[in-house]
Amino acid sequence: MIIVKRTYTPLPGASGLADLLEQVNQETMATGMPEVKVFRKYLGYHGVMVTMQKWPTVKEYNDSRSQVRQTPGIRKIFEGIYPLLSETHKTEILESVS
């Protein structure tokens, strides 16, 4: 099992990122992909959001990327997310060791 962790750092004064990421979760689950859990960082840069999504394998995650890009609802939400960010989101893949 892997966890895909994404970190989103908003521009100063940007708002609405948490709501948009929750919408991503709803659209993602509607397509049959795993839930995207959304977290707000407690310490560190203000307003930073982190998402985590469990996948059985890296291959299944990689295969899902084209499905995400081809899903109009998800693409539309990301069109609202990207202008809020100070830089593109950071993606990390964590592998379960137990």
Q: 17-30 and 72-81 helices cross at what angle (nearest 10)?
A: 170
The string over 72-94, giving b where at least 16 C-beta atoms fall within 10 Å of a residue's C-beta and e elsewhere, is eebeebeeebeebeeeebeeeee
Domains defined for the chain, CATH in brackets: 2-95 (3.30.70.100)
pLDDT at 1 over 90: yes
pTM for the full predicted model: 0.91
Q: ∠72-78-81 over CA atoms, to 5°?
A: 155
43-90: pLDDT as tens digits = 888 899 999 999 999 999 999 999 999 999 999 999 999 999 999 999
What is the spatial distance between Cα 52 and Cα 61, in angstroms, rounded to a whole number? 12
Q: Which two tokens stand for residue 33?
A: 């992909």
DSSP-based three-state secondary structure for 98 = coil
Predicted pLDDT of residue 98? 81
81-98 confidence digits (pLDDT tens)? 999 999 999 999 999 898
Q: What is the pLDDT of residue 45?
A: 84
Full 3-state SS string of 44-63: CCCCCEEEEEEECCHHHHHH
For residue 38, what pLDDT is reported? 98
Q: Does 36 score more than 90 pLDDT?
A: yes
